Amino acid sequence: LIRLGKQIIKEVRSMNAFAKRALFSYGSVTQTKADTADSHELVKLLFQGLTDRVAAARNALEREDRMERANCVTRAQKILFGLRQTLDFEQGGELARNLDSLYDYCTRRLTEGHAREDDTIFQEVHELMVQIRDAWNVMPVKGPSLVQ
């Protein structure tokens, strides 16, 4: 994981510290993807990691594994922090501002879902992020960028 983290950092030198920490929170990035990733691809990986972590938190809640649930929620929140920091408000305009608000909302909802042990809250966040992830996956790479 440390070797993978160092290689990811080399690929994303232009990304800020929050985005780098978010990438570390998504520890299952494959070597090949890390070697060929651009900023658009890295954001796709972050969304995949985010939705995976929320799904894992739901699983941990069902199994009553509080420690694993806490780890998954924390990792998901770190990825959300990283996604917020990658937004380019100058080029992204209103859409970037709306995504920032959505990421903030999801971060707060994850905390609430964890504290209340409420799967419906985790499900809400998961569904929201799956929609954004899927939209990001079909977004053309060319044109105005939402990420720095």
pLDDT tens per residue across span 41-94: 888 889 999 999 999 999 999 999 999 999 999 999 999 999 998 888 888 888
- Give the pLDDT band of residue 146 (cuts 50, 70, 90): low
Is residue 148 pLDDT above 70, yes or no?
A: no
Specify the DSSP class assigned to residue 75: H
Question: What tokens does 36 get?
Answer: 């060929």
Going by C-beta distance under 8 Å and a sequence separation of 6 or more, which residues neighbour residue 122?
54, 57, 58, 61, 110, 113
pTM for the full model? 0.72
- Residue 13 has what DSSP assignment? T
In sequence order, the β-bridge partners of residue 87 are 147
pLDDT band at 24 (very low <50, low <70, confident <90, very high): low
* Rounded CA separation 133/128 (Å): 9
The yes-or-no verdict on residue 10 having pLDDT over 50 is no
pLDDT above 60 for 107: yes
CB atoms within 10 A of CB 71: 15
Structure tokens, 31: 């070597």
* Choice between 136 and 144, residue whose per-residue pLDDT is larger: 136
